[in-house]
Amino acid sequence: MTLPLVSVAVPAYNHATFLTACLESVRNQTYPCLELVIVDDGSIDDTLAIAERFAADHAGRFAHLTILHQENHGVSAASNRAIAACQGEWVHLLGSDDLLYPDKIRVQQQAIADWNEPRLALVYSDVDFIDVNGQVLSSATRKRPPPGPDHQAYLRLISYNDVANATVALRREAFLAMGGFDEQLPLEDLDCWLRLSVHHAIARVPGLMAGYRRHNSNASLRQRMMFEANWDTLGKFAEQHGALIPSALWRACLRRRLRSFLRWARKNARELIPMILSDALLSFVRTPKPEAWRRYAAQCRMLDT
């Protein structure tokens, strides 16, 4: 039986230290029929040269291998361009500092075929967090939803984003039809998963299938920016699709986010504590309006000035 072409999209920026291991993890996949698209987002280190050497050495492993270069526009723009350039129906998105485990694509593609769910647009799995040397620091295996397609994943995602980027596979047509990643957001993933989940199913395939590398340049470690992006993302979703979420869940979601923000504010922005505590108390009796989320995003931006 002829297997369908599956694409791997790698947006890359200044990850010369990690890129060889990343690309080798793609080459070593047990799924045979692969396309690889790499977008160098204006790197100033040897990222592009490493990608070109890999292509020269291993082009025969892939049905197609494409390297694109652009001026630096950020990870969202590089990801959008990489996915748009792919030819497979399904695209496995991989950060240039992360790793795929050998059976990741084969296992996920088999699950997609078995489910045969036409509305499925995103598949993900469990993930290991690894250090700069590739050693496992911890594994994200708790708070996992049941395996299989979820047609209302937004009900979970607004409170807890359990979709690990290194494990994601996207149905290319659905991703492009809803506009791809929002290039205006500093952290793009939750916004994209929420928008996809409004019209499509999202599914978890159980098992540890990738390594997400933690190091000092990870965007997720820049906490203020992460809080700002999350507040803006939830405000945007509340404005566009707020009616999908029951009032009680919106209130519980706000309290959960405020608890996390309070822990950060106690060390970094104590002047925000009275507002946080007041809004947490009000959330027991009042459903937050979209502007409530935007207000916290604005407060984060003010702290950066």
Domain positions in the chain: 6-219, 222-303
- The pLDDT of residue 202 is above 50: yes
Give me 184's structure tokens.
Answer: 């205006």
Q: pLDDT value at position 223? A: 83
Tell whether the model's pLDDT for residue 225 goes beyond 50: yes
Q: What's the token pair of residue 84? A: 């748009």
pLDDT of residue 220: 47
DSSP one-letter string for 221-264: G-HHHHHHHHHHHHHHHHHHHGGGS-HHHHHHHHHHHHHHHHHH
Can you say how many angstroms the Cα of residue 24 is from the centroid of all Cα atoms in its chain?
Answer: 21
* Alpha-carbon span 127 to 108, nearest angstrom: 14
Percent of the chain with pLDDT over 70: 97
Structure tokens at 140: 């994200």
Residue 288 has pLDDT above 60, yes or no: yes
List all residues 6 or more positions away from 36 whose beta carbon is below 8 Å from its beta carbon.
Answer: 7, 8, 10, 23, 26, 62, 64, 65, 66
Q: Kindly report the CATH number that applies to the domain delimited by 6-219.
A: 3.90.550.10
Please say whether the beta carbons of 236 and 248 come within 8 A: no
pLDDT > 80? residue 216 = no
For the chain, percent of residues with pLDDT exceeding 90: 86
Query: Do 64 and 33 form a contact (C-beta atoms < 8 A)?
Result: no
Give mean pLDDT, residues 68-97: 96
- Rounded Cα distance between 286 and 280, Å, is 10
- Tens of pLDDT, residue by residue over 160-191, are 898 999 999 999 999 999 999 999 887 789 99
Comparing 60-64, 82-86, 218-222, 286-290, the range with the smallest average pLDDT is 218-222
Best CA proximity match to 139, nearest among 211, 203, 202 = 211
Average pLDDT, the chain: 94
Rounded (10°) angle between helices 290-303 and 223-241: 160
What does the pLDDT average to over 22-28?
98
* Cut 0.85: pTM above it: yes
Over residues 245-257, the mean pLDDT reads 96
pLDDT for 143 beyond 90: no
Is pLDDT at 218 greater than 60 in this prediction? no
Amino acid 124: pLDDT? 97
**Mean pLDDT, to the nearest integer, of 94-122?**
97
